[in-house]
Structure 1
Amino acid sequence: MPAKRRTDPSQAMAEAEAALTRAGIKFTRKTDFHLKVQAFNFWPTTGKFTRDGDHKKADKYGLPLFIRLLNEAGLATAQPLNPVDDPAAFIVQRPPQEPGFETY
């Protein structure tokens, strides 16, 4: 069964480019519908991906699987984010305001 096409291919391409950039993956945009990462090809509108020289059809589709494949191939250079468990890390400590200069 073929993958379902998106109604807006430019949105699918923008999402794919943003995700690959966040993952630290260098890619080239071959056409309005095709991205290439070294020997890997990806079509964001359908989610299909192949590797140069493969003659069998891929049975899995999607951007997350494509990024995982590139990560396993060592092509993703972004470091994973560390979770922050301490709420104090999100609180900005500001010095007390001078009297008469309150901010709203």
Structure 2
Amino acid sequence: MAASPYKHLYNTKRWYRLRHYQLTDTPLCAMCSRLDKVTPATVADHIKPHRGDEVLFFDPKNLQSLCKPCHDGAKQQLEKSGTLRGCDVAGLPLDANHHWNRL
């Protein structure tokens, strides 16, 4: 697999500070929290893929804290297929776009 053309953005002081702030401000995984699981977050994840857009990349409102398993599993699946499988503790679909969640 080829290296990301945006990799240089992750090697800046600005990103390290933003990542540190995100994980300090929100230290638990957002996806696990929806399942009532308490899991430390280790990844500052871009909610909307930035695809090299520096404004979107450095936008703190576009970040969420995730654990590595959620980032590398469920989040990647969501970005590739457009759907998020699974349900929360109440039995409601995790996917915000599922028709049950549009009531």
With structure 1 as the length reference, what TM-score do the two structures score?
0.28
Say which one has the larger Rg. Answer: 1
Q: Higher strand proportion, which one?
A: 1
With structure 2 as the length reference, what TM-score do the two structures score?
0.28
